[in-house]
Amino acid sequence: MEVLSRYEPLVDDFEAFLAACERPLPSVVRVNTIKAGVERTKRALDEEGVDYEGRAWNPTVLELETGKPGNTWPYFHGWIHGQEEVSSLPATVLDPQPGERVLDACAAPGGKTAQIAALMDDTGPVVANDNNLGRLSALRFNAERLGLTNVAVTRQDARNFSLKPVGLDAFDRVLVDAPCSCEGIIRKRPDTLDEWSLSHVEGVSGVQKGILKRAIQATCEGGTVVYSTCTFAPEENEAVLDHVLEHEDCRVVEFDSALDSRPGVTEWQGEEYDASVRKARRYYPHHNDTGGFFCAKLEVTG
């Protein structure tokens, strides 16, 4: 937890923040509307005697009163998928529409891809990319269990992603849920910070800049790119936005944040970032009883 002390200047009620980081996460699933509606899923859970609690901001998010959501009929049928509440945010910010061309640049293990596919009513094309074969096999397993037929899976380095294999010249929307130092998932994996180092944060920040730049280049003018991480480090969040704002044709835009959030920070350890990064949102564990998260919406202008 000492690692997190560097964020004390950014976080209100730091004691509550640390206390939340030490609590386990609630057991939350997302209803896969490709296979069943929310009402039918609830009825099936009722029949099995599994209690649940909805979330006002997103009716497809359910907290289950069981530690084993995998041991229910709705799970077996692919009607639900374990997905942490705040992780279901970026796909809703991306707001993909049926018939659009969408890329999930760092897609494995596929929870957000499946949510994108569902928002598009299982029409595509949705391209799910990741560079790791093991993680891709998890993605493929999840996508098929959830009944997705609109997803093409590619294995490329997202920093120089080629559209050729899928026969497209540009995307309408791209999600970059970037590989990160994962500080925000400490509630799920308490040992996450054991290997933390500033040099890792700085290294991964370089990768993130490369991926986000390529995502913007691969998106048509007027298109949307959503950048998200599950970390608090400004080096991996606002600094990455600041970098692409300088080098690519894009701007940060506001989005409706249904969950309690804080604006992006414009100053960190002697660095100053573009003022528009305030439009990005930071999600802290003690505000919504979720993991930690960062999310920004970009409009491509060139």
Partner 1 sequence: MSNDGQRFDRLPATDAERELENRATREEVVEWWDQRFGIGPEEFEDHSFWEKGAGKIWVLHGAVPSPTEIEGLGMKFLRTRQEHWKPTTNAVQRFGREATRNVIDLDPEEAMAFVRGKDQELEWDGDWGYLIAAHEIAGGREPLGVGLYLHGELRSVVPKGRRRED
Q: Which residues have a catalytic role annotated? A: 230
Task: Please pick, from the candidates 6, 18, 27, 40, the single residue that binds partner 1 as defined by CB under 8 A.
Answer: 40
User: Of the two residues 69 and 223, which places its CB atom closer to partner 1 in the complex?
Assistant: 69
CB of 145 to partner 1, least distance (A): 6
Reading the block at residue 241, the tokens are 């936005």
β-pairing, 61-64 vs 80-82, is unpaired
Q: Which range, of 52-60, 145-153, 230-238, 258-266, touches partner 1 by CB under 8 A?
A: 145-153
Q: Which residue pairs from 157-162 have beta carbons closer than 8 angstroms and sit at least 24 positions apart in sequence?
A: 157/131, 158/105, 158/106, 158/129, 158/131, 158/210, 158/211, 158/214, 158/215, 159/207, 159/210, 159/211, 159/213, 159/214, 160/214, 161/103, 161/105, 161/129, 161/214, 161/215, 161/218
125 binds partner 1 (CB under 8 A): yes
CB of 258 to partner 1, least distance (A): 27
Q: Which range, of 38-46, 186-194, 236-244, 280-288, touches partner 1 by CB under 8 A?
A: 38-46
47 binds partner 1 (CB under 8 A): yes
The CA–CA distances, whole Å, from 266 to 5, 213, 298 equal 19, 20, 17
Question: Which residues have CB under 8 Å from 115's CB, separation 6+?
Answer: 30, 83, 88, 91, 92
115 binds partner 1 (CB under 8 A): no
User: Of the two residues 165 and 190, which places its CB atom closer to partner 1 in the complex?
Assistant: 165
In angstroms, rounded to a whole number, what is the distance separating the alpha carbons of residues 197 and 115? 32
Count of residues of this chain found to bind partner 1 when the rule CB under 8 A is applied: 37
User: Of the two residues 55 and 145, which places its CB atom closer to partner 1 in the complex?
Assistant: 145
Task: Please pick, from the candidates 16, 38, 54, 73, the single residue that binds partner 1 as defined by CB under 8 A.
Answer: 73
Contact residues for partner 1, defined by CB under 8 A:
35-36, 40-41, 43-44, 47, 68, 70-71, 73, 76-78, 122-125, 128, 136, 140-141, 143-145, 147-155, 165-167
